[in-house]
Structure 1
Amino acid sequence: METEPGFDKLVHNISGLREAIRPLIQWAEKQIPRKSHKTTSLFLYATAGVRRLPSPDSEWLLSNSWSILKSSPFLCRKEWVKIITGTEEAYYGWIALNYHTEVLGSVPEKKTYGALDLGGSSLQVTFERKQDGNDETSLKLSIGPVNHHLSAYSLAGYGLNDAFDKSVAHLLKRVPQVTSEDLISGKIEINHPCLQSGYKEQYTCSHCSSIRLADGLSPIGGKKLVKGGESGVSVQLIGVPKWDECSRLAMVAVNMSEWSDNSHGIDCELHPCALAENLPRPIGHFYAMSGFYVVYRFFNLTPDATLDDVLDKGSEFCEKTWDVTRKSVVPQPFIEQYCFRAPYVVRLLREGLHITDSHVIIGSGSITWTLGVALFEAGKAFPYGAKFHSYEIFQMKINAFVLFAILFASLFVLLCAFSCVGNWWVPKFFRRPYLPLFRHNSVTSTSVLNIPSPFLFQRWSPINTGDGRVKMPLSPTVAGTLQRPFDTALSFSCGGIELAESSLYSSSSSVAHSSSSGSLGQMQFDNNTLGSFWTPNRSQMRLQSRRSQSREDLNSSIAEAHLAKV
C-alpha cells in the first residue's frame, strides 16, 4: 500500500504527516493478527526525497514520525526510523527481486536478475558481476555457500516525479525575459507539450531553483515555501499537447548532460546517457519494478507488452482532453503526468541505460525494496563498512586456522579427561568381549591370574589331582569351537547355548576343563611356559574327544572340585 504525497513534501506539516502514516498503520493492523501486533517490528526508512532535504527538515520529519509510530500497536524503536542510502535502497530491491523469483541462495547456483527500482525521486540499479569490483558501487553478498558480487548505485533525479520536475525546469529556461520578481509572484506560465489540452494548474518546481534566469540571478534567492511546507518555485502549467515535442522533452530528462552542470555532453548512441563515466554499465537480464510497473498498470498493459506498446498508449492518452482524461481513469495522483511518463520510461531504458527490450521484464507490483528490508531484518546480518561494503545473510564465517586450533584443543581436553577417569568410563555396550585386565602372581605353580570376568561368573580355583594334572572343574567352554586366548565366546550348538571362559595357568602340565550340554571335550595347551601362551602362533589349542571318560570319572571330578572349594 502507498500513500501520497511523499515524506519530503510534508516538512513542518504535522497534520499531513499524520494523514500519510495513519492509513499505513490501519492497513497493517488488518493484515497482521491482533495477538501478533506487539511482536511485529515496524520500520520507517526514508529514501531519496528526504535524503536531498536540508538536515533540519529531514530531522524534523524523522522526529515527528517517531512520535506518531511509537503510539502504534506495533513494536517500533527510534533507531528504526531513519534515512537509508541509495546503495542500501538498491541492495534491498535486488534481494526482494531475486527472492521473489526463487533465485536467491539457490543450490545449485542459478543466474540472478538485475533490479531496476524506479521510485518518485531516484532510480536504483543493481546487478551481479562476474568478478568482484573495487569501485564504490561494489557489494558482496553471501547466502549460505553462495557468494554474489554486485554493483549497486542510485541515480538521483531519475524518479518519475523528479523527471517531470526537470522537464518543467528545462521549459522555464526557454521562457524569455523571466526575472526573479516574476517567479516570486507565481504568475509565470509554462506551456507543457506533455499535458492535455484544457489542463491549467499551479505547480511547485523544485529543480527550477537551480537554473539561471535572464537577469543573471538564480531563483534560489527568491525561493519560498508554498502551502503545506513544500519548497520550490511556483509556476502555472498549461497543457499544449504535442507528442513529438513531449518525446524529445523526455529525452532531455534522461540525458544528464542536458540538465547537469557537472557533465559534458554525452552521446547517447555511444554511452548510456543517464550514467556518469565512473558508473559500471548494466549487464544481464533485468526486472523493471515499482515505477515501471505503475506505468504499465496505468495503461492496462500486461508484463509481456513491448516498450513500443507503451509509446502507442502514451500517444493515445495525450490526444484526449483533460476533462475526458481525468474521468476515464480511476482517481489517483499524477494522472496528468502519464503522457510524459510513457516516453520517459522507454527512453530511460533504451538510451539512458542501454538495456534492450529483450533484456528487460516488467516486474510485479509486489516486488519492492521494502520486501528486501523485511527479508534482511529476518536474516539479521548487515555488516557495513565505510570503504568496503559486505552484506552477509544466514552465514557465519570463521578462519580455518582458528577452527583447527579449537578442534585440536577440544580433542586434547577430551583425551586428558578419559585418561583421568580410567577404564570405567567405557559403556558396557562398547566393551570388547575379552578380559581386559591381567594381574599375574607366580608365587606358586598353582596360582592363577586374577582376571575379572565381564560375565561375572564365579571364579574357580585349579585342582591338583595328584596325578600330574591340574583340573578346572565345570569351567565353561564351547564344544567344537576353537578358542583364542582371552576370548569369552557365546555360541549355539545342537544341545543349546554354551558359554566359555578361558583362564591362564602357570603349569607345566596340560589344562583340562570342559562342560557342555551336548558333548564333552577337552581343551589342551601344549605349552610348558606362560610366555609361550602369549603368542598364539607358537601355541596350539585343540579339542580332543573324551568320549571314553566314564560317567563315574566325571562325577568324581565334580566331587573333588567341591571338596577343594570347601
Structure 2
Amino acid sequence: MSYIYLSFLWSDEGIYAWVAANYALGTLGGDPQKTVGILELGGASAQVTFVSSELLPPEFAHSLKYGKYTYNLYSHSLLHLGQNVAHDSLRELLLSRDQTSAESSGDGVFLDPCTPTGYTHNMGFWNLSPGALNGKKNYLPTLHARGNFSECRTAALKMLQKGKEKCSYQHCHIGNTFIPKLQGKLLATENFFYTSKFFGLPSEAFLSDLMLAGQQFCGEEWSKLQKKYHTVNEEDLQRYCFSSAYIVALLHDSLGIALDDGRIGFANQVRDIPLDWALGAFVMQNMADLEKEHSDWISAILSSDSATRFSLFIILFIMICTVWSVMKWRKPQFKTIYDLEKGRYIVTHVTR
C-alpha cells in the first residue's frame, strides 16, 4: 500500500477526472483533438473539463503536459450546482417564487413540479433559509408534489441562469460563469450516469431518450412508482424526476448539447477502470516521478564515458518500456481520505 499526498483545489477535480477518462480510453498522450471531455455531476458540485481551441480567460485555462503533447484545457468546478445541493436550492426557489400568491390564499401551500404526484414532503427535516420561512420562526410552508417534467425543467433552468446578468465574459451559459462552446466527444459521469442507468438507458443514449424517460416518470403517481421500484429507497426514488429534468436543463438548455447529439456518452468506467479523479491524480503523480527519474538518469549518462553511456541508454530504454507497460495495464484501486491535520487529500493506492 502506498500514499499520494495532494494539495487539492476544486478545479483540480475536473482536471484529474479528465486525465482518468483519457488514460482509461487510451487517448492520453495522443492528439489533443482526439481526447474526450468530461462532465461530472456530483452531489455538491459539477465539473466541466475539455480541450478547447478558444482563447480562454486565465482563470479557466489550464495547460497540462503529458508525454510529447501539451493539452490546453478549459476546466471549472460549478460549486453548489451538484445534484443534491441544486435540488435543495430549487425547492427554496419554488417556495419563494410563489410566496405572494400562497400568502394571499392563506394556506401556505406551494407547488412542486419536480416530485411525483402523491409524494408527501416532510418539511421538518429541511434546513430552510429565513426567506423560505417567511421570516417567521414557527412558520412551516407546505410543498404539494405535482410532478410535471416541463415545469420542473423550466424551474431548474431558471436556477441555472441565476446571476447571468452579471456575466462579464463573452459566454456565460450558466449564471455568470464563463463556459466556451463544448468541443469533441464528451463523457457524462457520476449522477449523469446513475440517472441514465436508473432509467435503463445505454451509455450511448441521446438526451432525448432521457427526456422521454423523465417525462414518463414525473407524470406517474407516486404509489405506482413505489410498487414498480420497490427495491429503491423512497428518498432516492423521488429525486429522479428532478434529476432527469435538471440534466436536460443543464446539458441541453444551458450548455447547448443537442437532444440527438451522438458525441455524449454516459459512463462511470471504461471496461473495468473507474473514471475517478483519484486515478487521474495517481497517473499524474507517476508521470511526474517518471520524469524525475529520467532527468536523474540523463544527468548520469551525460557525465559517463561512451561505453558506460551506451549501456545506460539501453537500461533506460528498457525501464521506460517496462514502466509504461505497467502503467498502461495494471488496474489500481483507490481510497480517498481527507487528512484534516495536514489539510489535504490522501489517495490510498492498492495495485491488484
Taking structure 1 as the reference length, what is the TM-score of the superposition?
Answer: 0.45
**210 and 99 in structure 1: CA distance in 2 versus 1, 3 angstrom threshold:** farther
Task: Provide the rounded CA distance (Å) in 2 between the counterparts of 1:213 and 1:326.
Answer: 30
Shift of 1:359: 3.2
Helix, strand or coil at the partner of 1:191: strand
What is aligned with 2:116? 196
Shift of 1:275: 4.8
- Cα contact 1:272–1:353 (8 A) shared by 2: no
Task: Provide the rounded CA distance (Å) in 1 between the counterparts of 2:236 and 2:265.
Answer: 24
Q: Does 1:149 align with 2:69?
A: no
- Cα contact 1:275–1:353 (8 A) shared by 2: no
Describe how 1:97-176 pairs up with structure 2 within 5 A.
97-106=21-30, 111-130=34-53, 133=56, 135-173=58-96, 174-176=98-100
Q: Does 1:264 align with 2:165?
A: yes
What is aligned with 1:209? 129
Shift of 1:351: 2.0
Helix, strand or coil at the partner of 1:114: strand
Task: Provide the rounded CA distance (Å) in 1 between the counterparts of 2:181 and 2:74.
Answer: 9
Task: Provide the rounded CA distance (Å) in 2 between the counterparts of 1:192 and 1:150.
Answer: 39
Task: Provide the rounded CA distance (Å) in 2 between the counterparts of 1:252 and 1:210.
Answer: 21
What is aligned with 1:395? 291
What is aligned with 2:310? none
Shift of 1:369: 2.3
- Cα contact 2:206–2:262 (8 A) shared by 1: no
Helix, strand or coil at the partner of 2:224: helix
**CA shift digits 1:315-357 (9 cap, x unpaired):** 1112222122123223245210111111211121112112332
Describe how 1:56-95 pairs up with structure 2 within 5 A.
84-95=8-19
Which of the numbers 180, 196, 216 marks the counterpart of 1:316? Answer: 216
**CA shift digits 1:502-522 (9 cap, x unpaired):** xxxxxxxxxxxxxxxxxxxxx
**CA shift digits 1:261-295 (9 cap, x unpaired):** xx4288xxx95531525444433321111111111
Letter of the 1:264 counterpart? E
Task: Provide the rounded CA distance (Å) in 1 between the counterparts of 2:87 and 2:208.
Answer: 21
Shift of 1:110: 6.2
**CA shift digits 1:467-498 (9 cap, x unpaired):** xxxxxxxxxxxxxxxxxxxxxxxxxxxxxxxx
Letter of the 1:195 counterpart? T
Shift of 1:304: 2.1
Q: Does 1:246 align with 2:145?
A: no
Larger radius of gyration: 1
Query: Which one has more relative contact order, counting CA pairs under 8 Å at least 6 apart?
Result: 2
Task: Provide the rounded CA distance (Å) in 2 between the counterparts of 1:344 and 1:88.
Answer: 24
Task: Provide the rounded CA distance (Å) in 1 between the counterparts of 2:9 and 2:23.
Answer: 21
Task: Provide the rounded CA distance (Å) in 2 between the counterparts of 1:172 and 1:253.
Answer: 13
Task: Provide the rounded CA distance (Å) in 2 between the counterparts of 1:339 and 1:212.
Answer: 22
What is aligned with 2:337? none
Q: Which contiguous aligned blocks of 4+ residues in structure 1 show a shift greater than 4 angstroms?
A: 131-134, 203-206, 210-214, 233-236, 396-399
Describe how 1:483-498 pairs up with structure 2 within 5 A.
none
- Cα contact 1:141–1:147 (8 A) shared by 2: yes
**CA shift digits 1:185-207 (9 cap, x unpaired):** xx96533112122211214555x
Taking structure 2 as the reference length, what is the TM-score of the superposition?
Answer: 0.69
Describe how 1:33-44 pairs up with structure 2 within 5 A.
39-41=1-3
What is aligned with 1:358? 262
What is aligned with 1:514? none
**40 and 324 in structure 1: CA distance in 2 versus 1, 3 angstrom threshold:** farther
Q: Percent identity?
A: 26
**CA shift digits 1:134-178 (9 cap, x unpaired):** 511221211122211112111112211122112211111122388
Unaligned runs of 5+ in 1: 1-38, 44-78, 180-186, 225-232, 258-262, 382-392, 416-566
Greater helix percent: which structure? 2
* Corresponding residue pairs, total: 289
**234 and 149 in structure 1: CA distance in 2 versus 1, 3 angstrom threshold:** farther
Task: Provide the rounded CA distance (Å) in 2 between the counterparts of 1:202 and 1:140.
Answer: 47
Task: Provide the rounded CA distance (Å) in 1 between the counterparts of 2:126 and 2:108.
Answer: 12
Q: Does 1:370 align with 2:278?
A: yes
Unaligned runs of 5+ in 2: 307-352
**128 and 397 in structure 1: CA distance in 2 versus 1, 3 angstrom threshold:** farther
Task: Provide the rounded CA distance (Å) in 1 between the counterparts of 2:162 and 2:173.
Answer: 6
Helix, strand or coil at the partner of 2:75: strand
- Cα contact 1:144–1:394 (8 A) shared by 2: no
Describe how 1:538-557 pairs up with structure 2 within 5 A.
none
